[in-house]
Structure 1
Amino acid sequence: MPASRRFPLLLIGAFLALYFVWGSTYLMIRIGVESWPPMLMAGVRFVMAGALLYGFLRWRGVANPTWVQWRAAGAIGFLLLSCGNGGVTLAEHAGVASGVAALAIATVPLFTLLFGLWFGHRNSRLEWAGIFLGLAGIGLLNLGSNLQASPFGALLILFAAAAWAFGSVWSKRLPLPQGAMAAACEMLLGGAILLIGSALSGERMTHMPSAAGWGALAYLVLFGSILAFSAYMYLLKHVRPAAATSYAYVNPAVAVLLGIAFAGEQVGAEECLAMAVIISAVVLIGVPQWRKAPPPVAPTADASLPGKMCK
């Protein structure tokens, strides 16, 4: 197949993976925590995914990171995966619906702009409008029955979004490994921290996971962690950043629909209104990025290989 024809097909496939695979991980987490202790499941997920990706990259000849790079990857892995994804997993275990969890995580761009102020970023009027609109959406979301029924889960999910946002902003200033090796190291160390937290908190396997529990874990390792992340790295290299992060608009709707269809979840009027408000806020924040973003980079012959991607 000619390279020019293959490139659009890879773009389409990457977008589909990002929209639907990442959108479906919230349901898979909900299924998984019915069989697994939450931190144990998240830790096993990231250690396995990180080990597979690390082994593949080393086999491809990618250099082992330095001690300084491992330390930086550990800090970002702690924020993004231990606190961010671990918080989502704990919140869903506490009773937060998967669709509502995805909607709360859609506030990450709002927190990203707020933390950007700390590092010297200046927001435009449109971005400030998006921040205030998003905060109103968070207020509406907390009026819904899902988060009111689990105040602890509500705090966890907002903490997870804030931790992910801060880690994303801080990561640009740290000496992380190049390309996908950064993700491999972050998953290995972030997953290890989750396993330590699981042991210290007294989590125990009281029974063997069900077939659905094993299937959810396998899906999260192979598709949610390795495939979707590789697709995200590919898009960051070949399209505008605002396009690559457009999953924030789509994932909540995918998660809500899957939760209703397969988990019997209920979404109230307040939460539907909050979804519209929060997604509108994220769109407002994205408009300046579309205006300022540079044109996409021309494709290379082996750009689809994880070892060749740049974060």
Structure 2
Amino acid sequence: MTIFLYSLMCFIFGTTFLAIKVGVDEGFPPFLSAGIRFLAAGAILYLILLARKKTSWKILLRKELMFTGFTLTFITFACLYWAEQFVSSGIAAVLSASAPIIIILIQTAFMGVRIDKASIVGIILGFAGVFFLFLPGLSITWNTFWIIGCGIILFGQFGYATGSIWSGKTISTFKKESPMALNAVQMIYGGLFLLLLSLFAGEPAPNITIPGLLSILYLTVAGSMIAHTIYYYLVAKTNAFLPSTWLYVSPLIALTIGHFFYNEAVHPVMLVGVLLILSSLILVNLGKILQFVSIKKMASSK
């Protein structure tokens, strides 16, 4: 059951990037569609948990969750949705996988966390991988919006990294609250911020099409509700590290389905970047990987 749920979670996370691309290409304004997705998903999950008495109204008023929603959801997905107007879903997924590298950089620069040699090598490989991803766009034709889009996605990962670090502290602060409830509330705030951005940006009314509507429905139900529920279930049933390894798998899924089902071009040079970034993820998480393998060996020997 665990293997099935893990595989389903990775598949859903991997396909969300193409679903975002489809929605944007179909004429749904990026900030509006992102806001609808997260506000709807967060509200539905929160009301379900409230009905089951798994949470309370009080956490809606917590500024900690407002900040988490602003960084983890608003900044990250405002950047991602906007950039996918110009960047393929597969490359967007690979660039989004750089978040663990940025988390380590923030922890080292601002939190006094010491960095080991494997992580240093991993960070160098990660930056080299990003360079190779950018290289095809730095051609004679100079695809300006493609380059800007890639840069915006990377900027969004600073929001994700900050929100991830902050949410870890928030979970410790609200130990009696379900992590799913905390996630639901931060999605509500993130969705509201995205809708406000859509309003201030003057986004036009969406072009209503069946593929566009299906993309928002899929992202809301599968991407933001089912996949995240599976994630927290796996954290509870296994450990915090195993579910997070979707970052190693989902970019490959996104690249594959984007190429074969949406005719997205994958330049051979980009594949070098993909391998370097995935290798960097392994190195920056090497300690956790070795610890996880050690625990599994001890469990199997008993």
TM-score, L = length of structure 2: 0.89
- The secondary structure found in structure 1 opposite 2:62 is helix
Picking from 9, 16, 30, the partner of 1:18 is 9
Query: What is aligned with 2:189?
Result: 189
Residues 108/186 of structure 1: CA separation in 2 closer, same or farther (3 Å cut): same
Distance (whole Å) between structure 1 residues aligned to residue 283 and residue 19 of structure 2: 30
Once the two structures are TM-superposed, the CA of residue 292 in structure 1 deviates from its matched residue by: 3.9
2:91 aligned with 1:100, yes or no? yes
Distance (whole Å) between structure 2 residues aligned to residue 103 and residue 195 of structure 1: 26
Query: What is aligned with 2:127?
Result: 135
Once the two structures are TM-superposed, the CA of residue 136 in structure 1 deviates from its matched residue by: 1.1
Residues 295/239 of structure 1: CA separation in 2 closer, same or farther (3 Å cut): farther
Q: Which has the higher helix share?
A: 2
Query: What is aligned with 1:299?
Result: none
Once the two structures are TM-superposed, the CA of residue 270 in structure 1 deviates from its matched residue by: 1.6
Query: What is aligned with 1:28?
Result: 19
2:152 aligned with 1:156, yes or no? yes
Distance (whole Å) between structure 1 residues aligned to residue 206 and residue 37 of structure 2: 19
Amino acid at match of 1:98: S
After TM superposition, list the pairs within 5 Å mapping 1:8-157 onto structure 2: 9=1, 11-34=2-25, 35-66=27-58, 70-93=62-85, 95-117=86-108, 118-145=110-137, 149=143, 150-157=146-153
Cα offsets for 1:41-66 (capped at 9, x unmatched): 00000011011101100011023253
Distance (whole Å) between structure 1 residues aligned to residue 60 and residue 254 of structure 2: 37
Give ranges in structure 1 of 5+ residues lacking alignment: 1-8, 297-311
Distance (whole Å) between structure 2 residues aligned to residue 69 and residue 122 of structure 1: 35
> 2:39–2:189: 8 Å Cα contact kept in structure 1?
yes
Once the two structures are TM-superposed, the CA of residue 67 in structure 1 deviates from its matched residue by: 5.6
> 1:240–1:290: 8 Å Cα contact kept in structure 2?
no
Query: What is aligned with 1:287?
Result: 286
Once the two structures are TM-superposed, the CA of residue 140 in structure 1 deviates from its matched residue by: 1.3
Give ranges in structure 2 of 5+ residues lacking alignment: 297-302
> 1:239–1:295: 8 Å Cα contact kept in structure 2?
no
Once the two structures are TM-superposed, the CA of residue 14 in structure 1 deviates from its matched residue by: 2.2
Cα offsets for 1:146-177 (capped at 9, x unmatched): 99622221221101112111210122223455
Cα offsets for 1:94-117 (capped at 9, x unmatched): x10000000101111100111122
- The secondary structure found in structure 1 opposite 2:115 is coil
> 1:46–1:190: 8 Å Cα contact kept in structure 2?
yes
RMSD: 1.9
Distance (whole Å) between structure 2 residues aligned to residue 248 and residue 195 of structure 1: 27
Distance (whole Å) between structure 1 residues aligned to residue 192 and residue 234 of structure 2: 28
Identical residues among aligned pairs (%): 29
Residues 68/23 of structure 1: CA separation in 2 closer, same or farther (3 Å cut): closer
Q: Number of aligned pairs?
A: 285
Cα offsets for 1:69-123 (capped at 9, x unmatched): 6211111111111111221111002x10000000101111100111122223222
Residues 61/67 of structure 1: CA separation in 2 closer, same or farther (3 Å cut): closer
Deviates more, 1:43-52 or 1:235-244: 235-244
Query: What is aligned with 2:251?
Result: 252
- The secondary structure found in structure 1 opposite 2:259 is helix
Residues 27/146 of structure 1: CA separation in 2 closer, same or farther (3 Å cut): farther
Distance (whole Å) between structure 1 residues aligned to residue 59 and residue 10 of structure 2: 35
Once the two structures are TM-superposed, the CA of residue 295 in structure 1 deviates from its matched residue by: 4.9
Amino acid at match of 2:155: F
Residues 221/113 of structure 1: CA separation in 2 closer, same or farther (3 Å cut): same
Residues 69/239 of structure 1: CA separation in 2 closer, same or farther (3 Å cut): farther
Query: What is aligned with 1:263?
Result: 262
After TM superposition, list the pairs within 5 Å mapping 1:203-214 onto structure 2: 203-205=203-205, 207=207, 209-214=208-213
2:175 aligned with 1:202, yes or no? no
> 2:29–2:206: 8 Å Cα contact kept in structure 1?
no
Residues 124/278 of structure 1: CA separation in 2 closer, same or farther (3 Å cut): same
- The secondary structure found in structure 1 opposite 2:204 is coil
> 1:235–1:244: 8 Å Cα contact kept in structure 2?
yes
Residues 139/58 of structure 1: CA separation in 2 closer, same or farther (3 Å cut): same
Distance (whole Å) between structure 2 residues aligned to residue 85 and residue 262 of structure 1: 23
Distance (whole Å) between structure 2 residues aligned to residue 163 and residue 129 of structure 1: 23
> 2:98–2:157: 8 Å Cα contact kept in structure 1?
yes
> 1:76–1:186: 8 Å Cα contact kept in structure 2?
yes
